[in-house]
Amino acid sequence: MQPEQILTHPANRLTESDRTRYFEQGYLAIPGAISPGWVRRLRGAMEEVVERSRSCTQSDGVFDLEEGHSAEAPRLHRLYSPQDHHPVFWEFVASDEMTALAADVVGPDVKFHHAKLNFKTGKGSRGFKWHQDIQSWPHTDYSPVTIGVYIDGCEADQGPLTMVPGTHQGPLYSMYDEAGNYVARLRDGDLTWMREDMVDAPVGPPGTVILLNCRTIHGSATNTSQRARPLFLAVYSSADAFPYTASPIDSPRLGEIVRGRPARFASFDQRPCELPPDWSRVRYAGPWQMQKAEEARKAAAG
Ligand SMILES: O=C(O)CCC(=O)C(=O)O
């Protein structure tokens, strides 16, 4: 569904000015938007999955392990598809708490695509280079939104999400390097126009939400603090937007309607989107492995 049509439906949770800001900036931060009850449940589920990661010795399709991970002191980059590994996460994805927010920016009929839980354990956990999301999972329109929830809150030294306002209206850049490797980040040469004072890095207490449009340029810095920065991320679209490539992160829940009704017609936005590798044939390695592979290629090239 296109923004003009979405805005004809009354908002559920956001004020009209917040909605306008989302469509103007390409993101919106809402400090403490998620209720303390849900934050407590998410934290409990997260602690359970971290316990499970203690027996994990190498990254697999479930956990992406950070350097130095051990049974005694788990260090995790990410839990893939948390909604398939703990019932509380699916309950949350499909809850009114989340889908009412999603509906405010994608329209009344809401479809789930995928989710992940990024941990950024602290004491130097890597950040994310500048990227746009939609090139990794193209859809027939640009309604997809990622709803990020800072379970324990986020402060400036914990590597918050950083966004460049208005970039959802600009071009989609390549996520391949000059040699044709998919690197899930934008090329430095495409970003020479970017200045530090253009970047926004909202922070907030536990339950703070970031609504992020799929075209917006964003990234995040290293978590230099001693504290983990768990960020639960769930991707939704309008029910009438359809992915046309395999998803990098698969789930039996992909495509489930979590609010409203399924579509009878698809929505199309003609603006082009670069295609990712065919994720049904090429395993999606995640941004950290891609970064390491890129560093190794650079080192080998001298
Ligand atoms: O966890 C982060 O800091 C960034 C997450 C992100 O940009 C992504 O998963 O696409």
Question: Ligand 1 center to residue 15 CA distance, Å?
Answer: 26
**For the chain, where are the E strands, in sequence order?**
27-30, 63-65, 76-80, 110-118, 128-131, 145-150, 161-163, 208-213, 218-220, 231-238, 257-259
Tell me the average pLDDT across 195-204.
98
Q: What is the pLDDT of residues 117-154, one digit of tens each?
A: 999 999 999 999 999 999 999 999 999 999 999 999 99
Q: What are phi and psi of 298, to 5 degrees?
A: -65, -45
Paired with 212 in beta bridges are 27, 146
User: In angstroms, rounded to a whole number, what is the distance separating the alpha carbons of residues 126 and 112?
Assistant: 28
- Tracing tokens 């030294």 back to the chain, one arrives at 157
Looking at residue 234, its pLDDT comes to: 98
Say if residue 180's pLDDT is above 90.
Answer: yes
Q: What are phi and psi of 297, to 5 degrees?
A: -65, -40
Looking at every residue in the chain, the average pLDDT score rounds to 97
Q: What are phi and psi of 39, to 5 degrees?
A: -60, -40
Say if residue 113's pLDDT is above 90.
Answer: yes
**Ligand 1 atom at minimum distance from 133 CA:** 10
Question: Ligand 1 center to residue 219 CA distance, Å?
Answer: 6
Does 143 sit in the ligand 1 pocket, CB within 6 Å? no
Q: What are phi and psi of 50, to 5 degrees?
A: -65, -40
**Ligand 1 atom at minimum distance from 220 CA:** 3
The distance of Cα 35 from the centroid of its chain, to the nearest Å, equals 21
Question: Ligand 1 center to residue 8 CA distance, Å?
Answer: 31
36: left (phi over 0), alpha (psi -120 to 50) or beta: alpha
Looking at residue 19, its pLDDT comes to: 96
Residue type, 301: A
Confidence of residue 243 (pLDDT cuts 50, 70, 90): very high
Looking at residue 8, its pLDDT comes to: 96
Percent helix, strand and coil across the chain, each rounded to 5?
Answer: 30, 20, 50
What is the DSSP track for 80-145?
Answer: E-GGGT-HHHHHHHTSHHHHHHHHHHH-SSEEEEEEEEE---SSSB--EEEE-SGGGS-BSSS--E
Does 233 sit in the ligand 1 pocket, CB within 6 Å? yes
Does 220 sit in the ligand 1 pocket, CB within 6 Å? yes
Looking at residue 97, its pLDDT comes to: 98
On the CB side of 138, CA atoms within 13 Å amount to: 19
Question: Ligand 1 center to residue 78 CA distance, Å?
Answer: 10
Tell me the average pLDDT across 68-88.
97
Does 218 sit in the ligand 1 pocket, CB within 6 Å? yes
Tell me the average pLDDT across 230-242.
98
- Secondary structure of residue 277 in the 3-state scheme: coil
Residue type, 42: L
User: In angstroms, rounded to a whole number, what is the distance separating the alpha carbons of residues 119 and 274?
Assistant: 29
Smallest CA-to-CA distance from 136 within 212, 219, 248 is with 248
User: In angstroms, rounded to a whole number, what is the distance separating the alpha carbons of residues 216 and 193?
Assistant: 15
Paired with 160 in beta bridges are none
Confidence of residue 35 (pLDDT cuts 50, 70, 90): very high
Give the strands of the sheet with 161-163, arranged side by side.
128-131, 218-220, 161-163
Is-above-0.75 flag for pTM? Answer: yes
Sign of CA dihedral 13, 17, 21, 23: positive
Say if residue 156's pLDDT is above 90.
Answer: yes
Question: Ligand 1 center to residue 77 CA distance, Å?
Answer: 10
User: In angstroms, rounded to a whole number, what is the distance separating the alpha carbons of residues 234 and 148?
Assistant: 7
Does 118 sit in the ligand 1 pocket, CB within 6 Å? yes
Looking at residue 135, its pLDDT comes to: 98
Looking at residue 272, its pLDDT comes to: 97
Tell me the average pLDDT across 44-68.
96
Question: Ligand 1 center to residue 70 CA distance, Å?
Answer: 23
**Ligand 1 atom at minimum distance from 127 CA:** 3
Top-level class of domain 3-301 = mainly beta
